[in-house]
Amino acid sequence: MDKIFLHDLRVETVIGIWEWERKIRQIVAIDLEMSADIRKAAKTDSVDDTLNYKGVAKRLQQFIGDSSFQLVETLAENIAAIVLDEFEVAWVKVKVNKPGAIRGARDVGVIIERGARPDSG
């Protein structure tokens, strides 16, 4: 399996459980690994034959910037669902970092891996 990755996508959003966090925007940093078969794109040298990571980044920037979750876990699940559903990848690994959330630590966050959902019908 080939992978396309996007590292350190930084977006301001409302995230956190504390009342003061609900009133400000904080930075989250996103890392993605997405399954892709890049053989056709490698032969044709055409972006139309591969996963458009710029499209993924723009979609996630819009979604994350407009979101208002309490937990990074919820944000990660929603990011995975968008990538799987809208970009037709079979597998995604999502890492959500919340820099500066814990004093003395560079960042804290979650890493999840999700596969495509089977068709429901």
- 120 in any annotated domain: no
Residue 119 has pLDDT above 70, yes or no: no
Q: How many domains does the chain have?
A: 1
- 121 in any annotated domain: no
- 28 in any annotated domain: yes
- 93 in any annotated domain: yes
- 46 in any annotated domain: yes
Which residues are known to be catalytic? 98
The mean pLDDT of the chain is 93
CATH code assigned at 110: 3.30.1130.10
> For 1-27, what is each residue's pLDDT tens digit?
899 999 999 999 999 999 999 999 999
- 59 in any annotated domain: yes
Which DSSP string corresponds to 19-84? TTGGGS-EEEEEEEEEEE--HHHHHH--GGGS--HHHHHHHHHHHHHH-EES-HHHHHHHHHHHHH
- 24 in any annotated domain: yes
- Show the domain range for 104: 2-115
DSSP conformation class of 104:
T
> For 86-118, what is each residue's pLDDT tens digit?
998 999 999 999 998 889 989 899 999 999 765
Query: Whole-prediction pTM value?
Result: 0.91
